[in-house]
A and B are shown apart, each in its own frame.
Chain A
Amino acid sequence: MNIQAIRQDFPILNRQINGKPLIYFDNAATSQKPYSVIDAITNYYQYHNGNIHRAIHTLSSEATELFEKSREKISKFINAKSPNEIIFTRGTTEAINLVAYSLGCDTLGSDDEVLISLMEHHSNIVPWEIIAKCRGFTVKYGHVNKDGTLDYQDFMSKITKKTKICCLSHVSNVTGVINDVKCIAKVAHDNGALMLIDGAQSVPHMKVDVQDLNVDFLAFSGHKMLGPTGVGVLYGKKEALQKMTPFQGGGEMIKDVSFSADHCVVSWNELPWKFEAGTPDIAGVIGLGAAIDYLVALGMDNVFNHEKDLTQYATECLKKCRDITLYGPTDLSQKCGILPFCLRGFSSHETAALFNEYGIALRSGYHCAQPLHQILNLPSSARASFYIYNTKAEIDRFIEIIEELNS
């Protein structure tokens, strides 16, 4: 990949922050957007804006075509069997909530269990806990080792015939640990359980093939993969989605609402629209389609290798800094481009504020994964996370600042 050419596609990278060139290391929170995505959104509003589906006029047809084209692109991108298995949501959080509410309210009861890991983002914990309170099922938690890797033996041992769904991050948003979800999915299926993976930190950074992984659900966000905020995706296997009732009601998701004998009889639309109530974020979906085009042109293996290279380089450099403590596994083959660390004498927020003075954007706090911080025995952590436009020169500058502070 030609990183300098890529950087030219991202106008925000020309910005200065506090008089210094922006170094954006907060990609696990959200990514920056290339001109092609910005232009796709602008172009939609300038020339094609109309509400999608069930209209005859030209603008609506054009908008529908652009919208559904994005669904096809996403379907191919993750190798779904059909675009009908792609449901648009507001993001990963809503995608997980959709499964939790739809499956939980309808089919889970007091004898059932949901298995989650303790490295999950709160969005893959809280929805299950909320529904469990209403429906009386048990939420079980798989343990995490001290280095932030999944305790596979513990997780697998908790999958039983009572387990109805296993929910696991593909990549941890704190440590960058890559979980072997394919292996877990097999054990889940052998026990008759479904498998949901949170792909918020994997889909933007590596090739994800839902048929190869054989997962039932995959949730991810557009804004972490060059697309706009406000749009995300739930992939669901057709047979799983067909059994579920809708999460939200409204327009678009119904086939028929007829009044008979003083009440309304409702039937659902076909997949995927059954789960897409109301007018969606049309521009966002089209923007996400443009983001997918951009990533496909780069090649996801190239994206992954570039980030791997940066992670290795940054890890080696940071290990030499006496005031830095790195967290997570030392075996880099198990992780993606996310580096949690602590700067001696500074809280994570003070660290992020300090680097912001130098134009470097980092994230600080729990990163919405408080249980994992408890396990790692951390009050919070600072996090650097990389993407396609980051360079070794930026890492050098980051290290230079740490060394300046030392002196």
Chain B
Amino acid sequence: MSTVADYVSRIEGTCGAESDIIVTFKYEKKDEVIANIMKKAQLKNALAGIIFELTFEGQSFRLYTSGKAIFRGFKTKMALMDFLAKLLVV
């Protein structure tokens, strides 16, 4: 069974009061990741066909077609990892 580590290349917290977390997907897996996310999450809005505003289990986030997603509101890394496991792993 695949894991989050199979899909994610890097998770970076950012500076700024918004506390955004940037998840960069592995380049060779990004198309698969995006397809999986689009299947599981609910599409709220698409901007110019390259940025998708989505929700999954009450959590809103933005997905970028170059292979990044930006999340907000996770108190711990563990909570984010649990969320990513549900979102990414097939």
Contact = CB atoms under 8 A, between A and B. Distances in A.
B20 A357 contact: no
A356 B47 CA distance: 14
Nearest to B14: A349
Contacts of B68: 353
Contacts of B72: 347
B59 interface: no
A18 interface: yes
Contacts of B64: 353-354, 356-357
Nearest to A367: B15
Contact of A380 (B17, B47, B70): B17
B4 interface: no
Interface residues of B, number: 18
Contact of B20 (A347, A370, A404, A405): A347
B62 A370 contact: no
A380 B51 contact: no
> Interface residue tally of chain A, by bracket?
10 to 19
Given A356-B66, A357-B64, A350 B20 contact: yes
Given A354-B51, A357-B51, A347 B66 contact: no
A368 B14 CA distance: 11
Given A356-B64, A405-B48, A350 B15 contact: no
A350 B14 CA distance: 11
A350 B70 contact: yes
Given A18-B66, A353-B62, A353-B68, A347 B16 contact: yes
B15 A370 contact: yes
A347 B20 CA distance: 8
B18 A379 contact: yes
Given A354-B64, A357-B51, A349 B70 contact: yes
Nearest 8 pairs of A and B residues by beta carbon: A380-B16, A379-B17, A365-B15, A349-B20, A347-B18, A366-B15, A357-B50, A18-B66
Given A350-B70, A354-B64, A379-B18, 7 more contacts: A349-B20, A349-B22, A350-B20, A353-B68, A357-B64, A366-B16, A405-B48
Interface of B: 14-18, 20, 22, 47-48, 50-51, 62, 64-66, 68, 70, 72
